[in-house]
Amino acid sequence: MSNHSNNNYPKLHNAMWPGLVGKGSPGAEPFISLGTMLDLSAAAEVDGIKFDGVDIFLFDPHVNIDSSDEDLKRLAEQVATRGFVIGSVVAPIWPPTGGGSSMGNEEERQKFVGQVRKGCRIAARLRELGVRPHGVVRIDSACGPTDWLKAPDANTRLIAQTFREAADVADSFGERLAAEGEICWGGMHSWREMVKLLELTDRPKTIGFQADMAHTLLYTLGYNAPEDAILPPDWDWSDARQLDAAMKTLTTALRPWTIDFHVAQNDGTVKGSGTHDKTGHHCLPNDPNGKLRITHHAGYWLHGEDGRLTKAMRHICWDGCMFPNEVMMQQQTWNDILSAMIAVRDAHGWREIDAGEAEPAEAMEAALVEPAAKPARKKAARPAKKAAKKKVAKKAARKPVKKAVKVKAAKKPVRKAKPVKKTKRVGTKALKKSKRKK
For 308-360, the pLDDT digits (tens) are 999 999 999 999 888 999 999 999 999 999 999 999 999 999 999 876 555 44
Q: How confident is the model at residue 22 (pLDDT cuts 50, 70, 90)?
A: confident
Q: Give the pLDDT score at 280.
A: 74
Rounded distance between C-alpha atoms, residue 62 and residue 52, angstroms: 19
Q: How confident is the model at residue 426 (pLDDT cuts 50, 70, 90)?
A: very low
Q: Give the pLDDT score at 357.
A: 59
Digit-coded pLDDT (tens) for 263-318: 999 999 887 554 445 677 789 999 999 999 999 999 999 999 999 999 999 999 99
Rounded distance between C-alpha atoms, residue 231 and residue 243, angstroms: 8
* pLDDT above 50: residue 388: no
Tally the C-alpha atoms within 13 A of residue 398's C-alpha that lie toward its C-beta. 8
Q: What is the mean pLDDT of residues 46-70?
A: 98
- Strand, coil or helix: what is 87? strand
Contact 118, 65 (CB under 8 A): yes
Question: What is the residue-averaged pLDDT of the chain?
Answer: 85
Tally the C-alpha atoms within 13 A of residue 307's C-alpha that lie toward its C-beta. 0
Rounded distance between C-alpha atoms, residue 224 and residue 209, angstroms: 19
Most confident of 142-146, 253-257, 370-374: 253-257
* pLDDT above 50: residue 409: no
Tell the burial category of 133 from Cβ atoms under 10 Å away from its Cβ (0-12, 13-18, 19+): middle
Q: Which residue has the higher pLDDT, 25 or 263?
A: 263
Q: Which residue has the higher pLDDT, 72 or 398?
A: 72
pTM score, whole prediction: 0.80
